[in-house]
Structure 1
Amino acid sequence: MQEQETKFGFTSFAETWNGRLAMLGFVIGIATELLTGQGILQQLGLM
């Protein structure tokens, strides 16, 4: 029987997806700022 690689914790699989989602979030944040002309804090009403 083969052992399956763990998909939780600090594994290569988890860190790869964490990096991909962080890059996606960063690009979406920059695009939103460009389209609205407001920073993220202004959009949230914190400034």
Structure 2
Amino acid sequence: MESRPSTDLRPIATEYNGKDRNAFLFGFNPQAELWNGRFAMIGFLAYLLWDVAGYSVLRDVLHFIGY
């Protein structure tokens, strides 16, 4: 059995730039794209739930302009 310090990351976790892929780092870096995608998925799901609840911004705009 291999013993190593618990702070060592698995090789796959440091594939991008030698840092943890889930670390929240400020600036333009590979981690930013991962976090951007995660927040986009949360926002899309939130809008879908909002739409299912009956509050559709898109439907209201289309109704307002006559479609």
> Under a length normalisation based on structure 1, what TM-score does the superposition of the two structures give?
0.60
C-alpha deviation, 1:10, in angstroms? 2.9
2:22 matched residue in structure 1: none
Equivalences for residues 1-47 of structure 1 within 5 A: 7-36=25-54, 38-41=55-58, 42=60, 47=64
Structure 1 or 2: larger helix share? 1
| Relative contact order, higher structure (CA 8 A, sep 6+) | 1
Equivalent residue pairs, number: 37
C-alpha deviation, 1:16, in angstroms? 0.4
Unpaired runs of 5+ in structure 2? 1-18, 20-24
Across the aligned residues of Structure 1 and Structure 2, the Cα RMSD in angstroms comes to: 1.8
Unpaired runs of 5+ in structure 1? none
Whole-angstrom distance in 1 between the partners of 2:39 and 2:57: 18
C-alpha deviation, 1:39, in angstroms? 1.6
Q: Which has the larger radius of gyration?
A: 2
